Structure 1
Amino acid sequence: MTTNAPSTETVGLYGADASPDEQRAALREGRAPVAVYGMGKIGLPLALVYGETSGAVTGVDVDPERVAALADGNNPFEHEPGVSGLLSELVADGRFTSTTDGEAAAATARVHVIVVPTVIDGDDDPDLGALEAVTETVRSGLDPGDAVFVESTVPPGTCAEVIQPILTAGDREPGEFGLAHTPERTASGRALRDIRGSYPKVVGGVDAESGRVAALVYDEVSDNEVVRTDSARTAACVKLFEGVYRDVNIALANELATLTDAFDVDVIEAIEAANTQPYCDILTPGAGVGGHCIPYYPYFLLDGVADPAPLIRTARSVNELMPGFVVETLVDGLATDGPVEGATVALFGVAYRAGVPEARASPAIDVAHRLDRLGATVLAVDPILDELPEMPAERVDIDEITERDVDAAALVTAHEEFGHVDWRAFEREGPEGGRRGITVVDGRQALDLSETAHSVYTVGRGWR
């Protein structure tokens, strides 16, 4: 495949006199070069899809080791299908380059795409420090006619109230460049597929021309339709509403699961039957909600909101309490054998989601801290994480955990590998020669331990 290297004559898309077809051609031919700031788990696949489209993309990251790896065509996110092959192809063809020099990339780009992490601080307030720093970098090379797209999840109003003032500081004026929020709608493990068009792409500009340019560009990037909202603020709310919907729905499922004993029913069975009605779509309860998204979205949405918003806040509280429910249940199960203080507990799964090697906001971290405060020794097993996050636990290899003397176990993340663990190996000889099991809390309805002597509590099903 030939390289669509940008010519020395680059063109801006915002406020351009050229026709929409001519602007699309400029993007496809590399005459509107793109810089993507943030080569994380979403930024890299996004840059590669831009590379497929335009052939002139620079990936920017502050980590020199990551940039060096990318320059050699090495993918740091091996769990993402298709990324390794596409990265190698685009690097070889010169359609994707990488650098730590954000200012140099900004100086040559005409389309700037920001996709850096946004998190919350210790007071549950949005921390936009990384986003603001990257925006300063973009400003250093911003030219009239450029377009800036913010893919990062942000509180409503961030583009107009935070990003635009930074970009216009100095000699830039509003109306010289485009600025739009184009929220990512991407799940780990399926990034390329989602970016290419699993869902409609939402865009919203700070002005009408910004929205037009964003819609034009993403109509080329995505195979799905582009939904253009009336403003960047609305586009931000769309992404946050999606996350809060899931948070509230999961909270309902989790609260129902905690009432399993009171109802004296299998809540999972009841949910599955209820969901056969097309207007009912209750999600599955579990040990808690983690990741880069759902735990943060309610706080982004409510940033600066004086109204109490009790449903959103209560749902977040319910989900944040689920690790405590797991620990309380485990302690109750241990009570027949002795106190949790001094017990050894095997914690299965630290990644926030099965099969995804990331642990941000994982409920397993809270479970470990709670057990540690109660005086238990925690052994953490996770076959897909390179290292544990900061937590009070000893890491144990999955092939070695059955050799340890454990009193209880909690499954927090349902990695496929845990189905191959020899759970019978945790059984002990009983006082009269029989087999005696341990207490197991299954937080994901993932274990079939019916042929063991273990005392098993499944979240949403109760004790067996």
Structure 2
Amino acid sequence: MNNLKTVTVVGLGKIGLPLAAVFANNGFEVIGVDINEEVVRHVNQGKSHLLNEPGIDQLVKDAYKKNSLKATTNTAQAVRKSDVVVVIVPVLIDENDQVDYQYIDRAVLEIARGIQKGTLVIFETTVPTGDTRNRFGKKIEEISGLKMGVDFYLAYSPERVYSNRILQDLKNYPKIVGGINKESLELAATFYKKALNGSVINVKNLETAEFAKVAESVYRDVNIALANELAMFADQHNVNILDVIQAGNSQPFCHLHHPGVGVGGHCIPVYPYFFINRGLKEGLITKAREINDQMAKYAVDVIEEEVGSLENQNILILGLAFRENVKETTKSSTLLLIENFKQKKANVFVHDPLFTDKEIASFGVIPISVDHQIVKTIDVVVLQAYHDRYKHLTFDPFTNCKLVFDGRNVLPREQIESLGIRYKGVGL
């Protein structure tokens, strides 16, 4: 283990950069790799490109001062110089819910071109069960001529962190580690103990580690779907679902999640398809996806029931991002809301403090400021992503607003209703 000194982190996104910075501050020489030249330039200046990620700016600056973190766009060259390669490149699904490997396949190709005998390669990207061995490992073997488990070591350790608290989660969550053989597992486990100063859970093989990560996400998706289904049923029976959840969760075996207008992001609405597309086509997982994706339509139908026809009504959606305080639109419920409102021939406006007007307009909607006089023309407000900016939002200027639909059940109901505006939530 003492010979493992140089680490290449492939992918300097919201998880890769924090990993690289932590490694670089824990005794390793780190080379970060990214295809985005601006990201590379920032890192080489000691700066983080990430927003709303506590502690990362200082950590990158510290690594820069130690000269222990550099960045490049040349993957093969970085891998050639490294003892350990950690891969954290996105794997998503396409419009047909099929796995999209384009980014990670490109990265694996370059890794294979630069890998040297004795290198430890660890994948952290969430992937379908079996891919580390059967897709990535075999591709590295094919191109490099090296044999996994013999000439290079191969391990899988899923990222398990949450945006806006990544450094905290890296410190507190144990790392799950699986290897292609005993030697790979031991090397990877020892590496993470030193690189993260945390605990490690060793599992039997690569596939167990891969499966565990997807199972975590599926659990959350199914639980949210249950909460959403119960919330819709509660609406029919004049019951407040938040009261139900608080009461129910006082029983230690009950862990009901909270309902909402939908589920977005790179993880929860994506990873269930890693099981569904490998044969788990019927059952709770598939049904959960259907329920969570229909919540946007449910919200629009409730709004129409409250205010009448939505044709030419001015609808303002608060939050383009898939969740609070994260500048990311992947699988955002706002996109489904936009689609459903447009089917009703409504005029759709969007506000999000994390995005520029140009970025918002690219989604075919009208960007507005909540501080502009135009809010007087808004008929319905829908909260989708509860950014910090909205915690202090006053609805007094919305003089024409008939209804506020609180898609996250967090807005001040009494204040809104005191203005003569109707309030609706999910299951309230």
TM-score, length basis structure 1:
0.88
Shift of 1:454: 0.6
Q: Which residue of 1 aligns with 2:312?
A: 342
- In structure 2, the partner of 1:413 is 385
Q: Do the aligned partners of residues 389 and 221 (structure 1) sit closer, same or farther apart at CA in structure 2, a change above 3 Å counting?
A: farther
Distance apart, 1:390 and its partner CA: 4.4
Q: Which moved more, 1:400-409 or 1:102-111?
A: 400-409
Match for residue 364 of structure 2? 392
Aligned to 2:168: 193
Where do 1:280-299 residues align within 5 Å? 280-299=254-273
Q: How far is 1:210 from its partner?
A: 1.1
Displacement after TM superposition at 1:110 (Å): 1.2
- Counterpart CA distance in 2 for 1:300 and 1:358 is 21
Corresponding residue of 1:434? none
Q: Establish whether residue 60 from structure 1 lines up as the match of residue 33 from structure 2.
A: yes
Structure whose CA Rg is larger? 1
Q: Counterpart of 2:70? A: 97
Deviation at 1:142, TM superposition (A): 1.0
**Shift, 1:261, TM fit:** 2.7
Aligned to 1:110: 83
The 2-side partners of 1:382 and 1:298 are apart by 28
Contact 1:204-1:229 at 8 Å conserved across structures: yes
- Tell me the distance in 1 between the aligned counterparts of 2:362 and 2:179: 39
Structure 1 letter corresponding to 2:99? P
Query: Which residue number corresponds to residue 284 of structure 2?
Result: 311
Secondary structure class of the residue paired with 1:44: helix
CA RMSD of aligned residues (A): 1.5
Find 1:234's aligned residue among 198, 208, 212. 208
Of 342, 346, 357, the residue aligned with 1:376 is 346
Aligned-partner Cα distance in 2 for 1:221–1:106: 18
Give the TM-score normalised by the residue count of structure 2: 0.95
* Contact 1:330-1:410 within 8 A present in 2 as well: no
Q: Quick check: 2:192–2:198 contact (8 Å CA) kept in 1?
A: no
What displacement does 1:395 show? 1.0
Is 2:405 the counterpart of 1:438?
Answer: no
Structure 1's 128 and 186: CA in aligned 2 closer, same or farther, altered over 3 A? same
CA distance in 1, matches of 2:361, 2:213: 27
Residues 359, 389 of structure 1: 8 Å contact kept: no
Distance 1:102 1:53 in 2: 22
CA distance in 2, matches of 1:303, 1:236: 15
| Matched residues, number | 421
1:83-123 C-alpha deviation (Å, 9 max, x unpaired): 11111121122100000111110110110010001100122
Residue aligning to 1:268: 242
1:77 aligns with 2:50: yes
Alignment of 1:164 onto 2:155: no
**5+ unaligned residues in a row in structure 1: which ranges?**
1-22, 429-436
- 2:378, 2:398 within 8 Å by CA — same for their partners in 1? yes
**TM-aligned CA deviation for residue 419 of structure 1:** 3.1
| Per-residue deviation, 1:263 | 2.1
- Looking at structure 2, the residues matched to 68 and 401 of structure 1 have their Cα atoms a distance apart, in angstroms, of 40
Amino acid at match of 1:293: C
Correspondence 1:130-145 to 2 at 5 A: 130-145=103-118
Q: Match of 1:426?
A: 398
Among residues 304, 307, 310, which one is paired with 1:331 in the alignment? 304
Q: CA deviation at 1:125?
A: 1.3
CA distance in 2: counterparts of 1:422 and 1:121, whole angstroms: 39
Amino acid across the alignment from 1:281:
H
Q: What are the within-5 Å matches in structure 2 for residues 193-212 of structure 1?
A: 193-195=168-170, 197-212=171-186
Q: Identity of paired residues, percent? A: 33
Three-state SS of the structure 2 residue aligned to 1:234 is helix
**How far does the alpha carbon of each residue in 1:54-97 deviate from its partner, in whole angstroms, 9 at most, with x for none?**
33000000111111111112211131111111111211221000
For the residue of structure 1 that corresponds to 2:32, the secondary structure is: strand
Q: 1:184 aligns with which of 141, 154, 159?
A: 159
* 1:448-463 correspondence to structure 2 within 5 Å: 448=412, 449-461=416-428
* Counterpart amino acid of residue 294 in structure 1: I
The offset of 1:404, in angstroms, is: 4.1
Is the Cα–Cα contact under 8 Å of residues 406 and 426 in structure 1 kept in the other structure? Answer: yes
CA distance in structure 2 between the partners assigned to 1:389 and 1:319 by the alignment: 26
- Helix, strand or coil at the partner of 1:423: coil
3-state SS of paired residue (1:425): coil
Match of 2:15 in 1: 42
Q: Deviations over 1:312-340 (max 9, x none)?
A: 100111001111111111111111xxx21
Question: Distance between the aligned counterparts of 1:62 and 1:383, measured in 2?
Answer: 27
One of 302, 306, 311 as aligned partner of 2:276: 302
- C-alpha distance in structure 2 between counterparts of 1:173 and 1:452, whole Å: 70
1:458 Cα deviation from its structure 2 partner: 1.0
In the alignment, the residues of structure 2 paired with residue 391 and residue 416 of structure 1 have an alpha-carbon distance, to the nearest angstrom, of 23
Contact kept, 8 Å, 2:235 with 2:427, in 1: the verdict is no
